[in-house]
Amino acid sequence: MTEILRGIRVIKFYTWEKYFMAKVNHVRNKELHMLKICCYVDAACDYLWDALPVLISILTFMTYVLLGHQLTASKVFTALALVGMLVYPLNVFPWMVNQIVQAKVSLDRIQRFLELSDQDFDSYYSSDTSSDPDMVLELHQSTFSWSPPCSVSASSSESGEEPEQKGGLETCIHHLAVKKGALVGVVGKVGCGKSSLLAAITGELNRKDGYIHVFGLEQGFGLAAQEPWIQFSTIRQNILFGKGYNAKFYQEVVEACALDDDLKIFPGGDQTVVGENGVTLSGGQKARVALARAVYQNKEIYLLDDPLAAVDTDVASHIMEKCILGILRHKTRILCTHRLEVLDKADILVLMEDGKIVQTGTPSAILSQVEVTRKLQDEKAERKEEELHRTDEEWEAKECGHEPLGGSYPSKLDEKETEEDCHYSYHGEDEAKKEGTVSIHVYRSYWNAVGTGLACVTLVAFFLMQASENVSSWWMAYWISNLQKTSNRNASVSDFSPPSLPQSLMSMVTMAPAGQRNSSSDVNFYLTVYGGIVVANSILTITRAFLFAYGVIRASTVIHRRLLNRVLMATVMFFDTTPVGRIINRFSSDLECADENLPFRLNMILIFSFALLGMVVIISYGLPWIVLVMVPLTALYLYIQWYYRHTSRELKRLNSITLSPIYTHFSETLTGLNTIRATRATDRFEQENEVRLEKNQRCLFISNTAMQWLDIRLQMIGVVVVTAIAVIAIIQHQRESGDPGLVGLALSYALSITFLLSGLISNFTQMETMMVSLERAEEYSTEIPKEPEGGVIQAASDWPREGNVEFRNVVLAYRHGLPNALDVVDFTVASGEKVGIVGRTGSGKSTMFLALFRMIELNKGEILIDNVNIRLLALEELRSKLAVIPQDPFLFSGTIRENLDPWGQYMDAELHQVLEQVHLKEVITRMGGLGSEVGESGKSLSVGQRQLVCLARALLTQAKILCIDEATASVDQRTDQLLQQTIRERFADKTVLTIAHRLNTIMDSDRVLVMNAGKVMELDSPKVLCNNPESFFYQLIQSGEQ
């Protein structure tokens, strides 16, 4: 579920909601199957719990009578009282065993996890000092693998966890020595093992043999990972990363990483809270924030994994000169990059291929071995002659969301422009906490989830079950009373009284005269009726137990289905502003409560309620004066319950809210684990986790303490109730009023009334706290913003035939009160036309993609595709007819085939064909073919290879309109050229819209659309715009900001 939430944009772009809904439901059905078994086993135990007292009683009395003994009131009601007292602990025992077994299973899983191998730096790194004191890093005859050791793999398999592997490519380093203060460039084609080399240095791989030595290992590394990891915090806190704030050094780092202009754009400056994993930043901004964080740590060794991929040439030069060759000039730097033009100042270059270092030498020696170097040098000379500079990659940045297919952030082209406050104004709102009693709507939703018919039948079964149990006890009391009256009358006519209903029934059944009522036929009659009542009670008990279990399973199914449907259909804005951990909390803790804890409490409440009702009727009938005591005591019970439930309910809400940060922090920690361990920040993150855990445990501890407070008071009131019943019974006996059997029955029940009253009150308050979890699930099932369903019209099956795109006076703002991200945008793209989209930061480029896919609805205007207003179409129909290649590649756990074609629409030959066209076939074949697993979030593939898989997805589609958002940033230059050629050939007759921050990717477009402050400034051919010094496009090139 976490992976789905992280990749929700991809799911919506490709209209895969139903596929992943079915996938989650498949897993959920397995969980429900086990829940069903548990519920039915619990129903059987529940049946034994309720039926056992009556069964034991009838077996005891039948055996006693058949042995020739005579029943008396004292013996019967003493036995009933003892059985009632013994049944509860005997029936609780299996529940306790069940809880112990569940705890043992959980502890065993934790134990197996704890027994997995930890990072052992002592054995991984060599402690021997290098023979050359200037060497800070040395690897010799070393072999590394992503595969864990055999022992670890076996342990993982036993625990049901699949060890994550990365392809199967081993990294073999014959020899690599790096001197202190050196700049080492690592180059090679996509997937050659550059990132694996850095992972081997940081200790993330398994060292199979060889030698690795790092000087100053305890200090850690400054790591800028290829996939930037950003925390849900302010930009400043992301850069500081736990270190103290040094204003001077901090400013130097910000300027060196080309972040100063971005901070001026953000409304909150460096105090702006970025979303989870940098959701409110563009890819380039995330890369530079991650680089700034690494630089601010002031380490001796820096490992920089392609930090220049998402930036243009000018910004790359700035970072190279001001950061890598500037502020880090005295540090040891290992830089992996595809930008060969920036490596001419490196001390040494390392050329890698298939996980091996094939050559090491000076830049002049290595670059001449790279195929595209000469062409790059020619292009560089040409750019220098023409004095045309590339701009900051941030003209692709966010316009109020994610620029890589996210929202468009407003910006200012100069100091006169007004700052726009879109997503950057989001400061991470705390999770809302409801107050007061749980709404009746929440109870009604659970009733509806169970089903009105089933719920009513279950309640009737509860009532009849309890009635039959009370009737069986009343029949026993009548039997005893009748025996006593018969023996006292000695058949005296003067003592004759009109027969009661049971007496008349007995006479009709046995046809025996009154004088023979002490005969064996009398005993048989009483036992027969008693046995019939017991059988009826047993049937009703098992019926209501299994009806309740079925209702619980039905409710759990409905609640999860509604929650999943609503979340997957929620708007993109909801996911941008809601941490993943907060959503996961609903699907884990809250649903677990609805599956297990809430049904248990509801069952107890129903049992105790009907039992107490029957008990009150019997006691009031046998001891009428007890009503005078029960009324004030009941009022006292209700007052205590009312007083306690407010506290318990709010504590439950606090417990749920403090649980979400734990999930969020843990998920965030796992995502950035490589960075955390490399920078030696593990102790700090453990402490932060402990702080969050302590907050949650405080709520739990106080909740348990409050429960003990309630129990003590209920027990004290229970003592008063039992004492009152005993006193009234003695007074009634002294006055010789009342039926002895009923009095005895009332006294036997009185011993259990304390338990029932306490159980009812405590379970009711616990149930209300459990309803808070249902309240939270119901909130997400009904209240979160949802994308519109259905459409007004249905387009033709072959729509769109041409691929014309027309924006008519489109106005779009992300939220009410914010400036327009698109301000009266009006243009037309003809069928088969190739249009490049450029513009400065916040100009509205990616907002157009969002509008085209209806990720955000328009405020005014309309968008037409082949003269059809897309607002009138169903979202699924619209998005399925468009193709997109996002900048940030995202793959899901599963096979290559599932990531390319989840619906199974294409033949294997077609899949192999597109993989060959994106130059991935050899890699996939080496991994094991289309059925090979890509790992969580595609971790078995490099970032560049993941981008190629996303491109392969687009090649499979027959869509007439393709949207590209700088989709080849993480691949080498040669592969980039080949892929651009493939796109041109495969989509020659298709309409292609390309957002670019590197002009070479759109210079061959038919036309270029220039955006500025949400407006279309110009739309013409690149040649015309380049030759016009007054054009915005020309200024973008010349200013060096594109």
- Per-residue pLDDT tens over the stretch 332-351: 999 998 878 788 888 899 88
pLDDT tens profile 521-533: 566 777 788 788 8
Q: What is the architecture of the domain spanning 888-959+967-989?
A: 3-Layer(aba) Sandwich (3.40)
User: Residue 435: exposed, middle, or buried by beta-carbon count in 10 A (0-12, 13-18, 19+)?
Assistant: exposed
693 pLDDT more than 90? yes
Q: Read off the DSSP letter of residue 174.
A: E
Which pLDDT does position 527 carry in this prediction? 74
Give the C-alpha separation, 884 to 992, whole Å. 10
Instruction: Give tens-digit pLDDT for 467-514.
Output: 888 887 788 777 766 765 555 544 443 333 343 333 333 333 333 333
Alpha carbon distance 608, 466 (integer Å): 10
pLDDT of residue 938: 79
CA distances from 594 to 337, 569, 714 (A): 50, 22, 27
Task: Tell me if residue 447 falls in helix, strand or coil.
Answer: helix
pLDDT, greater one: 98 or 1029: 1029
Over residues 580-589, the pLDDT tens digits come to 878 888 888 8
Indicate if the pLDDT at residue 559 is higher than 70.
yes
- Whether the pLDDT of residue 829 is over 70: the answer is yes
Position 385 confidence tier, pLDDT thresholds 50, 70, 90: very low
Residue for token digits 């950035």?
Answer: 672
pLDDT bin (cut points 50, 70, 90) of residue 618 is confident
Q: According to the model, what pLDDT value does residue 750 have? A: 66
In this prediction, residue 488 carries a pLDDT of 53
Per-residue pLDDT at 817: 64
CA distances from 958 to 803, 816, 982 (A): 12, 37, 15
Residue type, 945: Q
- Between 266 and 614, the more confident residue is 614
Query: How many CB atoms lie under 10 A from the CB of residue 454?
Result: 16
Nearest alpha carbon to residue 596 among 33, 27, 35: 35
| CB-count exposure of residue 88 (10 Å: 0-12, 13-18, 19+) | middle
**Spatial distance between the Cα atoms of 153 and 939, rounded to a whole number of angstroms:** 17
Taking only the tens place, the pLDDT of each residue in 94-120 is: 778 878 888 898 899 999 999 888 878
- pLDDT band with cut points at 50, 70 and 90 for residue 684: very high
Residue 208 tokens read as 């199979």
Alpha-carbon span 765 to 763, nearest angstrom: 5
Does 564 score more than 70 pLDDT?
Answer: yes
Which residue from 333, 263, 322 is spatially nearest to 294, judged by alpha carbons?
333
**What's the token pair of residue 133?**
């004191």
Does pLDDT of 372 surpass 60?
no
Q: Cα separation of 644 and 766, whole Å? A: 10
- Helix or strand holding residue 943 (H, E): helix 943-956
Give the mean model confidence (pLDDT) for residues 855-868: 90
Chain-centre distance for alpha carbon 990: 38
Nearest to 177 by CA among 347, 414, 50: 347
Q: CB neighbours of 581 closer than 8 A, spacing ≥ 6?
A: 660, 661, 662, 663, 664, 665, 666, 667, 668
Would you state the structure tokens that stand for residue 698, as one six-digit string?
């405080």
DSSP state of 594: I
CA–CA separation, 503 vs 14, rounded Å? 78
Which pLDDT score is estimated for 1029? Answer: 84
The percent of residues in the chain predicted with pLDDT above 90, rounded, is 17
Of the listed ranges 17-21, 239-243, 307-311, 603-607, the one predicted with least confidence: 307-311
Q: Kindly write down the DSSP assignment for every residue of 792-812, as one continuous string.
A: SS---TT--SS--EEEEEEEE
> Do the strands 1015-1020 and 1007-1012 form a parallel or antiparallel pair, or are they unpaired?
antiparallel
Question: pLDDT tens across 781-798, in order?
Answer: 888 888 888 778 888 888
Alpha-carbon span 545 to 869, nearest angstrom: 56
Classify burial at 104, counting beta carbons within 10 Å of its beta carbon; exposed 0-12, middle 13-18, buried 19 or more. Answer: exposed
H/E run at residue 54: helix 17-66
Q: How many CA atoms lie within 13 A of 786 on its CB side?
A: 17
Could you tell me whether strands 822-829 and 805-812 are parallel, antiparallel, or unpaired per DSSP bridges? antiparallel
Round to whole Å and give the CA distance between 88 and 53. Answer: 9
CB 399 within 8 A of CB 844: yes
> Mind listing the pLDDT tens digit for each residue in 409-448?
333 323 333 333 333 334 445 565 566 677 888 889 999 9
Lowest mean pLDDT among 367-381, 580-594, 779-793, 816-830: 367-381
Strand 183-187, strand 348-353: pairing: parallel
pLDDT tens profile 631-683: 887 788 888 888 887 888 888 888 888 888 888 888 889 888 999 999 999 99
pLDDT at 650: 83
Q: What residue has token string 């209300």?
A: 768
Mean pLDDT across the chain: 79
Beta bridge partners of 324: none
How many angstroms separate the CA atoms of 915 and 697, rounded?
Answer: 51
* Whole-number pLDDT of residue 331: 92
Distance in angstroms (rounded) separating the CA atoms of residues 686 and 677: 12
Domain ranges in the chain are 888-959+967-989
Q: Count the helices and strands in the chain (H runs, E runs).
A: 35, 19
Q: What is the mean pLDDT of residues 222-251?
A: 90
What single string gives the DSSP state of each residue in 530-543?
HHHHHHHHHHHHHH
DSSP 887: S
* 46-71 mean pLDDT: 77
Q: 207: which residues sit within 8 A by CB, 6+ positions away?
A: 124, 142, 143, 144, 200
Output the six-digit token pair for 139.
Answer: 């690897």
Tokens at 771, concatenated: 């309803």
| Separation CA 169–CA 191 (nearest Å) | 9
Rounded average pLDDT over 81-102: 75
- Is the CB of residue 480 less than 8 Å from the CB of residue 625? no
Q: Higher model confidence: residue 782 or residue 982?
A: 782
State the DSSP string of 269-322: GGGPBP-TTSTTS-HHHHHHHHHHHHHHT--SEEEEESTTTTS-HHHHHHIIII
Model-level pTM? 0.71
d(C-alpha 844, C-alpha 856), whole Å: 13
C-beta neighbour count of 485 within 10 angstroms: 15
Q: What is the mean pLDDT of residues 904-918?
A: 88
Tokens matching residue 440: 């009746």
Contact 812, 390 (CB under 8 A): no
What integer is the mean pLDDT of 370-386?
Answer: 46
Question: pLDDT at position 312, please?
Answer: 64
